[in-house]
Structure 1
Amino acid sequence: MSFTSLSLKGVTRRFGGKDALTDLSLTIDHGEFIALLGPSGCGKSTALNCLAGLLPLSGGSIWQDDRRLDTLPPERRGFGMVFQSYALFPHLTVRNNIAFGLRMRRVPRAEVRRRTDEAIRLVRLEEHAGKLPGQLSGGQQQRVAIARAVVLEPSLVLMDEPLSNLDAKLRLEMRTEIRRLHQSLGLTTVYVTHDQEEALSLADRLVVLRAGRVEQIGTPAELHDTPATAHVADFMGYRNLLPMKVSAPGTVEGSGLSLPTKSTLPAGSDVMVAVRPEDLVVAPGGVPVTVEVVEYQGREVAVEARTLAGVPVHLRTADRPAPGDQVTVAADPDRVLVFPA
Structure 2
Amino acid sequence: MPLSANAFGSLELKNVGRSFGGHDALVDLNLTIRAGEFIALLGPSGCGKSTALNCLAGLLPLTHGQILIDDKRVDVLPSEKRDFGMVFQNYALFPHLTVEKNVAFGLQMRNRPRAEISRRVKEAIALVKLEEHAKKLPGQLSGGQQQRVAIARAIVIEPRLVLMDEPLSNLDAKLRLEMRTEIRRLHQSLGLTTIYVTHDQEEALSLADRLVVLREGHVQQVGTPAELHDNPANWHVADFMGYRNLLDLKVVSVSGSSAKVEGNGLLLNATMVQPAAAGDEVRVAIRPHDLVVAREGQPTEGRNTFEATVSVVEYQGREFAVGVNTSTGKNLFVHSEYAPTPGETVRLVLDPARALVYRTSLAAVSAEEQELLQVRG
SS at match of 1:75: helix
- Cα separation, 2, equivalents of 1:47 and 1:180: 25
- Give the AA of the match of 1:256: G
Q: Which of 187, 190, 204 is 2:192 aligned to?
A: 187
- Cα separation, 2, equivalents of 1:20 and 1:158: 19
SS at match of 2:238: helix
The reply to whether residue 299 of structure 1 matches residue 318 of structure 2 is yes
Q: Which residue of 2 aligns with 1:275?
A: 286
TM-score (norm 2): 0.89
- Give the AA of the match of 1:267: A
Q: Which residue of 1 aligns with 2:216?
A: 211
Q: Which residue of 1 aligns with 2:368?
A: none
Q: Which residue of 2 aligns with 1:262?
A: 271
**CA RMSD in angstroms, aligned pairs only:** 1.1
Deviates more, 1:264-273 or 1:40-49: 264-273
Instruction: Give, in angstroms, the shift of residue 258 of structure 1.
Output: 2.2
- Give the AA of the match of 2:278: A
Instruction: Give, in angstroms, the shift of residue 80 of structure 1.
Output: 0.3
- Cα separation, 2, equivalents of 1:177 and 1:184: 10
Q: Which residue of 1 aligns with 2:261?
A: 252
- Give the AA of the match of 2:340: P
Structure 1, unaligned runs of 5 or more: none
- Cα separation, 2, equivalents of 1:282 and 1:271: 25
TM-score (norm 1): 0.98
Q: Which residue of 2 aligns with 1:199?
A: 204
- Cα separation, 2, equivalents of 1:277 and 1:73: 47
The reply to whether residue 69 of structure 1 matches residue 80 of structure 2 is no
- Cα separation, 2, equivalents of 1:304 and 1:253: 21
Q: Which residue of 2 aligns with 1:153?
A: 158
Instruction: Give, in angstroms, the shift of residue 269 of structure 1.
Output: 2.2
Q: Which of 340, 349, 354 is 1:335 aligned to?
A: 354
- Cα separation, 2, equivalents of 1:296 and 1:90: 43
Instruction: Give, in angstroms, the shift of residue 67 of structure 1.
Output: 1.6
- Cα separation, 2, equivalents of 1:65 and 1:179: 25
- Cα separation, 2, equivalents of 1:58 and 1:296: 49
The reply to whether residue 10 of structure 1 matches residue 21 of structure 2 is no
Q: Which residue of 2 aligns with 1:290?
A: 309
Instruction: Give, in angstroms, the shift of residue 256 of structure 1.
Output: 2.6
Instruction: Give, in angstroms, the shift of residue 330 of structure 1.
Output: 2.0
Q: Which residue of 2 aligns with 1:85?
A: 90
- Cα separation, 1, equivalents of 2:22 and 2:80: 28
Instruction: Give, in angstroms, the shift of residue 277 of structure 1.
Output: 0.4
- Cα separation, 1, equivalents of 2:166 and 2:239: 20
What is the CA deviation profile of residues 70-97 of structure 1, one whole-angstrom value per residue up to 9, with x for unaligned ones?
A: 1111001110000000000111111111
SS at match of 2:271: coil
Q: Which residue of 1 aligns with 2:328?
A: 309
- Cα separation, 2, equivalents of 1:67 and 1:262: 44
Identity %: 70
